[in-house]
Structure 1
Amino acid sequence: MKLKKYITVYIVLLFNLCLFAQQSKVKKADNLFNKFAFVDAAEAYKDLINKDYQADYASRRLADCYTFMRNPDSALVYYQKTVEQPNIPIEYYYKYAQALRGVKNYKESRVWLKKFKKSGGKLKDVKFLKDDNFITSIFNAKPNYFLSNVDFNSKYSDFGAYEHQNKIYYTSAQDEGVSTKHLYGWNKEPFLDVYVTDKDAKTSKPFYKSKLPGDVNSIYHDGPVTISPDGKTMYFSRNNFIEKTLKKDKKGISNLKIYKASLIDSVWTNVEELKFNSDEYSCGHPALNRDGTKLYFASDMPGALGGSDIFYVDIDSNGNFGAPVNLGDVVNTDENEVFPFINNEDVLFFSSEGHPGLGLLDVFATSTNKNKDIVSVINLGIPVNSSKDDFSFTMNPDGLTGYFASNRRGGKGSDDIYAYNRIPDLKVEGFIIDAVNSKPIAKATVILYDDSNNEITKIESDDLGFYSITIERNNDFVITAEKNKFITGTEKFTSKKLKVSDIKIKQDIILNPIEDVVLLAELNTIYFDFDKYNIRPDAAKELDKVVNLMTNEYPKMTIKLESYTDSRGTDAYNIDLSVNRAKSTYNYLISKGIKPERIVSYEGFGEQKLTNDCDGSKNCLESQHQLNRRTQFIIIKMK
């Protein structure tokens, strides 16, 4: 018996481990996707498909990954499977059409574009005639960012917000509070300086008290900054000014250069110019990758395709810099590319005037292939981008929050910093539960419908009865669960009025077993005398039939017992009386050799569920009251 118990415990633990592993894989895949790490995300979604866990959902995501990696052949395979899913969102008709165009199957592409349009999708035919690139950003389809102004914006230019170790470093022309202002002739604003504020500061300091202490700030433009992973080295942009000397190129222009400073006794000092700078061109907007081995920057140095381009240099273990490398024509155009940023998944973000956008500078992200080669760029869409300049995009390690700057309307003035929260995926999840014994039901079919009763997706609960489905926000839903020998369970829920931080809706579904009508005919209800709970002789005969069925004909059958009273007496008294009737019935069956585990429950419900209208509002015969003083047998499992 001990061995059997240990085996059971081991199996339960194994199921729990499998469930945890499956859930973790979905979460990992989604996190990678949300952080634009599409190569790794694709592998994670493949694994889910191979294990047949949320395969429909994983197929959609995998197709999107291949789209962003500019791999139309692979995207096509999974979009083809996706559009066959029942009641798939119509945006996948459009994505499938674009993938078909990517493999030059224009005829079939037009078929699906028409289907997309007929289903209510909006498109501009002229755009499709001119756009030879099959990639379109799903992030443009619907806004998935919430924006807010930060409280340290000023009426002057503020940008370059960058979070490091619970502090926010930013660049600003907000040099108020000092008696003498050094003004920039271009716009008559103070020159830019680097400021720092605590991330969780309750109140804002006066601007001049937030200036970065040390030697980084000068009388000319300084910032934005990036900081090494160990927090000891800061790289920053500055006009060509060092040792109190402003240097200019042959045309009399003072270009930007990148400098570094060291943190000594909480002060940034020992400012040094990086060796790849030049008086004859600009290098600025430095950004480090996660491990500090590459420094990205914008420059119009020789080798740029036009305007300023995004370059990088390698940094070795001794802090030495390699030769600048141009990122190539997938990223760079003949216009300006500026403000690079690398997130924790080595995805490059930057602003560009040259890539198709909403106007002026737009923020873009890059997509890479398995070899980590950049193969496409993705416009982040609204509300990050606008018809104005949108730039200096940064992302925190969580992949959901960060900052960017814009000179759009509605700010305090000039360039303003905006904090963003990306909307995380929302899931509905829970357990399919047996109403009788509260145990989970494995392999139940779970179907999600919209509020118009259109099927959205269909999955199976796992071995522990658990299910999880990614859903849209701001919608009403109906969800059902089906399982052989159970009555279909249905629940309604909504994803409206949720907080942005809400990522999960818990919705268990309770299923009631289907009673076997033929067999129940043999399990006759037993009755009790008024105010008694002893087993009468006629009841004993019926109970002996139950024993015979459970012993000889259905040796694996399990049942539950429900006992009731008539309406006479107080509610509390009747509950106690019915409990005693259930217990008497249970004890009789056990005394005849039925094992306790085959009776999953015995409960009393007082005068609930009367079989007639003898509820005390009218006079009833004793024979009518008798029908309510009973114990019923409910079959849970027959085999």
Structure 2
Amino acid sequence: MRKLPAILFFTLSTFAGVAQEPLIRQADDQYGAFSFKTAQDIYQKVLDKGFASAEVLQKLGNTYYFNADYPEAAGIYERLLAEYPDQAGPEYYFRYAQSLKSLGDPGRSARAMEQYFEQTGRSVESAYQGEKGAMEYLAEIKQHSGGYRLEAFGHNTRYLDFAPSFFGEELLFSSDRDTGNLARYRHTWNARDFMDIYRVPSDTAGKSEVSKLDGVNSRWHESTTALSPDGQTLYFTRNNYRKGKIITDEEGVVRLKIYQATLKDGVWSEIRELPINSDAYSVAHPALSPDGKTLYFASDMPGTLGQSDIFRVALREDGGFGKPENLGPKVNSAARETFPYVSSDGVLYFASDGIYSLGGLDVFAVKLAQLPFRGRVLNLGAPVNSPMDDFTFILDGQTRKGYFASNREGGLGGDDIYAVTELQPLPFECVQEISGTVRDKITNEVLAGATVQVIDEENQQVFSAVTDAEGTYTLTLDCDRGNFVRASRQGYVPAEEFLYPSDGKPRIIDFYLEPESVLAGYGDDLAKLLQLSTIYFDFDRYEIRPDAEVELQKVIAAMEKYPSLKVKANSHTDSRGPDAYNLWLSQKRAEATVDYMVSKGIAPERLQWEGYGETRLINACDDGVRCSAEEHERNRRSEFIIFE
């Protein structure tokens, strides 16, 4: 990328004749005007002198970042984040991470991105779990309702029938139909009735014969299954028992474990428990990713956010297992998340009673590719969800047909299986419309032909628009993730705003671009041209404050760079106090400003000063007018007017 010229420069009439004559003649016509450039070198010089602030580091870092000078940008951003972490928004962690990535430092880049996601993710969680009211949740659920058609499943009984699972051309499910025990507490992890795994052809009419799955059932509980893509490995849930005896934890609770069976010569055998199991907590309800390389499950293991959470673990090619990973607060709450299932198109379905629901356990869905820090967790709405418990939802990603279980009214038993057909896809993508106007920051004129880009968290442009003759633009973005909206135009410094994930309501964002160069002449305010912060004074004081010292260093740096520049410091007071005293105080402030600059090496003949007291107020806070301290402070200021 071509680097922009240095931040502040002057074109003097003595340089005429070198392709600058038209500009110089124009400048001469305007009292020998100077041409200012947004000053990268000014900020750098201020920093080199030891005068740092969050604003200086932000602006200096941005000048390097937007010009693809990533080594310099990384160093400045690193200092910003170390010295002023409370004043650095998430966008600076992102830019720091991208700069490090460009330098071939993926380790530190990843850590910076973790901090970026921590900031944005925490805001997302707060907005999703805490700020919405019940009516907003119910309205959102209503929007998603009607997306499925329910059909009867002819193999239900008056007992417990639940946990459907695809098994090639067949269907597996769990039932206690042999026991006659109608225990209603199968969702707690010390379930009381004994269940087995059954198989049946995938029909809903109930004409096929149901049979037990050979090789995996025991005298204890078996339920919730997941078949590997090659059909050779079956994962299932079973009570914790060893050598024919039930094992309990320290509290006497029989925990659940996931077991693995291998198909040998048409028989399920070689059953072994997974190494992620424990006698101290439950690991249950397996689900596999479409490629069979990741196992999802529910557990109350250490690190759980609520009563039970959804976890995942990598299945290594050598048959080993990785370290279990909690799916985080986008999925898991302070209550129960359980019964995960992953469709072939990468959607995680799970049951929860911790996210606002229609009642009891509801079925939710989220795109796995968008986790852990973004993505819409959607309630499937009615008729899948009801005021009762709805769970163990599965869906074929191709046919869009599936099954789930519920204990809703109208069923045959405690739990019943229902067949479903998806009628319309869930609105996983959150689309937000952004519009606004791009203007010149100094003249306020609209800028036609400016480019406005949406840049995602991978630093990729995903949308762009060009402003029309009125300087306006409209574009859309994915509001489930953090985005940068950047406006740019030739001859101007880009401006950028970071947008947190949101609810998708339209937003208006106006941009004011700083020109790369502006003409300045006699009588212009150098502070405005350099975009300086106002130099304020404390009430009834004329000493230079530390924050003002940083701004004065920018003026000093400009004057050092351009020896012909001469300025006049004008100081002002607020209206409080006698007029004569205020005039004296403003003169002392102007004198203190000039004395400070002289003490830093600026020749006295290049400086003038004058105090105006309260004669040039910039607001209505005159004598007898009630104003706030902040409003009065705006009048206690200094200006830097070019006089030669």
TM-score by length of 1: 0.43
TM-score by length of 2: 0.42
